[in-house]
Amino acid sequence: MSGRLDGMVAFITGAARGQGRAHAVRMAKEGADIIAVDLAGPLPSCVPYESATPEDLAETVRLVEATGRRIIASKADIRDLDALKAAVDNGVAEFGRLDIIVANAGISVPEPWNEITPESFREVIDINVVGTWNTVMAGAQKIIDGGRGGSIILIGSAAGLKMQPFMVHYTASKHAVTGMARAFAAELGKYKIRVNSLHPGAVNTPMGTGDMVAALGRAEETNPGLMKMVTPFLPDYVAEPEDIADAACWLASNESRMVTASGVAVDLGSTQF
């Protein structure tokens, strides 16, 4: 049985673990070859959870190859446009094309508004906004050159549709991603390239490791009750990375060929409360 992405090539950032790994494995199962990048090293000091490692990225390679598809993986910081271009150039040289971009890499830092430092604010914006822009810029022309159209998926957040308490910088960055997707969609539409943003709510990923839960708890103590603003409607409460990958795969496939400039929420209804 043929897959929905047979013959396609996807460029995915933040692919070492969590949602990025889930996107890579799911798209490979649907027939795509993968160009994967990840920092796979220490995150900025403001980030309270554990960093991905080279071993994590190697595991993504193993899982993709187990599907029978090909993958080229490399370490790259999404703030480094030249590094991303090199990764895409190497992948396209090997695979011959590019059809899909998934700008997944990003960071989240829980801090009350008056404890956010200029350095922390800058790190979040540089990675989540500039890094997302870099990801599109590194690959969009390759999709255009192929002449077949394609799909670009910017991974946002429920914070990009509503807000996330105790994360002014994160909320600002994800609102920027929402607008960026719409703006790219307008200009790239003439090439049959669709651009959408995908907005997860709480997801069971390594972002919840280390001091992340404690940091959220400390922030919530400054204004109890605000976390209720992102209460899910469904009893599951937390999605799995594969749930988000299901939506990303649909946006990447021809099944969503008439969908562009949309913000697709996979947040258990939390942005509607």
Edge-first strand order for the sheet with 263-266 is 71-75, 33-38, 9-13, 100-103, 150-155, 193-200, 263-266
Distance CA 239, CA 201 (A): 8
Domains in the chain, CATH or no CATH each: 9-272 (3.40.50.720)
Distance CA 38, CA 259 (A): 28
Q: What is the reported pLDDT for 229?
A: 84
* Structural contact between residues 207 and 47, judged by C-beta atoms closer than 8 angstroms: no
| Across 80-108, average pLDDT | 98
Tell me the pLDDT of the chain averaged across its residues.
96
DSSP state of 239: B
Tens-digit pLDDT profile for residues 34-43: 999 999 999 9
Tens-digit pLDDT profile for residues 43-92: 999 999 999 999 999 999 999 999 999 999 999 999 999 999 999 999 99
Cβ neighbours of residue 25 closer than 8 Å, sequence gap 6 or more = 60, 63, 64, 67, 245
Judged against a pLDDT cut of 70, whether residue 21 lies above it is answered with yes
pLDDT band at 209 (very low <50, low <70, confident <90, very high): confident
pTM for the predicted model, two decimal places: 0.97
Q: What is the reported pLDDT for 255?
A: 97
Judged against a pLDDT cut of 50, whether residue 106 lies above it is answered with yes
Distance CA 73, CA 62 (A): 11
191 catalytic per annotation: no
| N-terminal to C-terminal alpha carbon distance within the chain | 41
Residue 27 identity: M
Judged against a pLDDT cut of 80, whether residue 270 lies above it is answered with yes
Q: Could you tell me the two tokens for 58?
A: 């190697």
| Across 129-148, average pLDDT | 98
Q: What is the reported pLDDT for 225?
A: 87
Q: Which of 49, 170, 191, 237 is catalytic?
A: 170
Q: What is the reported pLDDT for 67?
A: 98
pLDDT band at 160 (very low <50, low <70, confident <90, very high): very high
What burial class does residue 252 get, using C-beta atoms within 10 Å of its C-beta: 0-12 exposed, 13-18 middle, 19+ buried? buried
DSSP state of 12: E
| Across 121-145, average pLDDT | 98
Q: What is the reported pLDDT for 1?
A: 45
Tens-digit pLDDT profile for residues 240-258: 999 999 999 999 999 999 9
Distance CA 27, CA 50 (A): 26
- Reported in sequence order, the residue ranges of the chain that DSSP labels E, i.e. its strands, are 9-13, 33-38, 71-75, 100-103, 150-155, 193-200, 263-266
